[in-house]
Amino acid sequence: MESFDFIIIGSGSAGSAMAYRLSEDGRNSVLVLEYGGTDMGPLIQMPSALSYPMNMQTYDWGFVAEPEPALGGRRLVTPRGKVIGGSSSINGMVYVRGHARDFDTWEAMGATGWGFRHVLPYYKRLETSHGGEEGWRGTAGPLHVTRGARKNPLYQAFVEAGHQAGYPVTEDYNGRQQEGFGAMERTVWQGRRWSAANAYLRPALKRSNVKLITRAFVRRLLIDGKRVTGVEYERGGEILTAQARREVILAASSINSPKLLQISGIGEPAHLQSIGVTPVHALPGVGQNLQDHLEVYFQLESLKPVSLLPSLNLFSKGLIGLEWLLFKTGLGATNHFESCGFIRSHAGVEYPDIEYHFLPIAIRYDGKAAAKGHSFQVHVGPMRSKSRGFVKAKSAEPREAPTIKFNYMSHQDDWTEFRAAMRLTREIFEQDALKPYKGREIQPGAHLQSDDELDGFIRDHCESAFHPCGTCRMGDASDPQAVVDPECRVIGIENLRVADSSIMPQIANGNLNAPSIMIGEKASDHILGRTPLPASNQEPWINPNWRMSQR
């Protein structure tokens, strides 16, 4: 049995950040256990190849959610990274911190010390921002955050259309003002995907006190009374154990972290007994509070030949790939999400609850074109769904996938917000800036206008944005639904923490890679017993007329 100060389960966004920070001063030995293998190769490292890894068994856990009653019984896939870097190695590389009010809400929900003023210094610590707002962004962190060249005229036309519709233009949605339209940021550096593995794990592995074991399937936590002592894992058909002198930290995703707690005996006792697991510690919130973002692809034909269509044939893909392999430049070096928008659905909504990702081609997430001619699209959906689901282990067998039930669109307000998002999108597309380009509406289709027609389209065509979170909710230790306290310690269990997207009390505004890395950064200071970074006194911009107007 090997022994380490800290054992981190999962090498994803938070796990890699913690491996880097916990080993930084050389005093602590750190073991990182990752079930996947190497992230090397163009399908992960080339930004424009983003549609491939999340559709490959090699890199994805392959989870599929239960049939969703409100979506006509559809079962949506739930990709999670099974590779060095975790989901940061298979995601769309979009970088969104979240809105300041997200974190103030976390604090109001019991996550003391996680308000915006507390997390902003950690965002600054983790970043090297290229082109971000001075004073609001980090300039010396491991994670490079860049912007695309936006050479395609559609990128600027979309932002200008938003401005013509009455919305602000924001120079940096990750700075003082999220609300508005502008350039989208991404984790791409020098033409490569700048995953948590590239930013954090590889530098950490150069230290003698960090060990990474890949192809290591964690079976359960080793618990003595109410104290975690180590981890049991399987590798190459052999069952092995590793001992933690100080702590075990779960950073295994919002799907696997609650499942590992449950099969180790931590969770809702009646559920554990029903699957043949002896309860060790009652924590009814484990696996509850599951949240996600849903979106639809709003697709239009382009009247001008300016889209990415010519680059989709095999010959063009070959040339793009060759340029990327030789120089790390060209269309292979971008994720193509280069313009975006954050708006509010209604008057009385304090901060944005709708996000736009713009693409200069109408295409599905599996990389197949939606139209034969030139086209463009936005991904649009509400940010703060009130629907809640759960993750539950099906049995005591570690290799059996858990039950994942999102309960998408089970709250009536979700339908109201989604309809508003679709109607506001059509209004933006009617602006003069897009008139030279706007052709036929491929989907939803201009004939769908009534509430019932829009609801039908949402039910049949909405897709997950792949942002599951919330299943090990952070809160006050007295909260019966909280799983971890504000220092990420599992409530009632010694030497065990959870630090990944599962601890979010409420889903953050935008994509979850950035807040997950921030959680790893901040959790590291708590684990090491350090005084948190000094709180910021910077005030975010909130639309002064939010109570009275939608824009």
Contact 523, 247 (CB under 8 A): no
Bridge partners, residue 222, by sequence: 230
Cα separation of 211 and 415, whole Å?
A: 48
Residue with tokens 């910021």: 536
Cα separation of 512 and 94, whole Å?
A: 9
State the alpha helices, DSSP H only, in 411-492. Answer: 412-429, 451-461
Q: How many residues does the chain have?
A: 551
- Residue 532 carries which DSSP code? P
Cα separation of 500 and 520, whole Å?
A: 7
Active-site entry in 118, 447, 467, 526 = 467
Residue with tokens 């696996």: 287
Cα separation of 445 and 426, whole Å?
A: 11
Residue 271: active-site member = no
Task: Name the token pair of 521.
Answer: 């950064």
Contact 53, 366 (CB under 8 A): no
Closest CA to 113 of 469, 475, 384: 475
Q: Could you give the C-alpha distances from 547 to 272, 346, 347, 348, 353, in angstroms and in order?
A: 46, 9, 6, 4, 14
Residues assigned a catalytic role: 467
